[in-house]
Amino acid sequence: MTQVKICGLTDPDLVRFAAQKGADWIGFVFVEASPRYVTEAAAATLLMQAGRSVPVALLVNPDDAQIERIVALGIRTLQLHGSETPDRVAEIKSATGAEVWKAMGVATSEDLERAALYTAADRLLIDAKPPEGADRTGGHGLAFDWTLMQGWGAPKPWLLAGGLTPDNVGEAIRLTGAPAVDVSSGVERLKGLKDRALVQTFIEAAKAQ
């Protein structure tokens, strides 16, 4: 059964709802440029509703002080969505003992090959590259050519992200063989505002594969 991460949650009721409907991970965005940004104080409240879902902190080029504060909240899975090098990933993992994911922006097969450099990462998040001039690295609702994934030998456990919706997640899983999927804008009725029906339908569609 495919695992599911619902990312960019900002409302306690939606966190609780997603957890109750079977989300394996709940993502909180600690990036001010994002419409889904949450403060560390707000995250402390959101975490109380996560239930059995594992909380994940989405960070972009975080410094050591931010990482310490996030881990102190009790979040033990860190998703690095910036230009972090393989050495930086290893450094963060060694310093915190947390599970560390590295997001990879993909547009070509060469982008996929870079994933093998991140030997310290526990998981990889394979996402679409952001459009030119974007002010943030993810959450754009864009897909990449999923056929690039066919025949790819993943060096680590991984999640598929980028442009996924309740309508296309089944096809995406079939084409890529993704063991897990990550969605944010694809379950929103307005930018940054999740929709309960879309969240539930997405989880059901993904886990049916």
Tell me the one-letter amino acid at 56: V
- Residue 133: CB atoms within 10 A of its CB come to 5
Query: 162: phi > 0 → left, psi -120 to 50 → alpha, else beta; which?
Result: left
Q: Which of 63, 127, 135, 195 is catalytic?
A: 127
The pLDDT value recorded for residue 56 is 98
**Residue 123, both tokens:** 């998981």
Per-residue pLDDT tens digits for 134-186 = 444 444 467 899 999 988 999 999 999 999 999 999 999 999 999 999 999 99
Q: Which amino acid is at 17?
A: F
- pLDDT, one tens digit per residue, over 43-100 is 999 999 999 999 999 999 999 999 999 999 999 999 999 999 999 999 999 999 999 9
Q: Of the CATH numbers 3.90.950.10, 3.10.580.10, 3.20.20.150, 3.20.20.70, which one belongs to the domain with range 3-207?
A: 3.20.20.70
Which residue is catalytic, options 7, 64, 122, 135? 7
- Does the annotation count 111 as an active-site position? no
Dist. CA 94–CA 112, nearest whole Å = 25
11 is catalytic: no
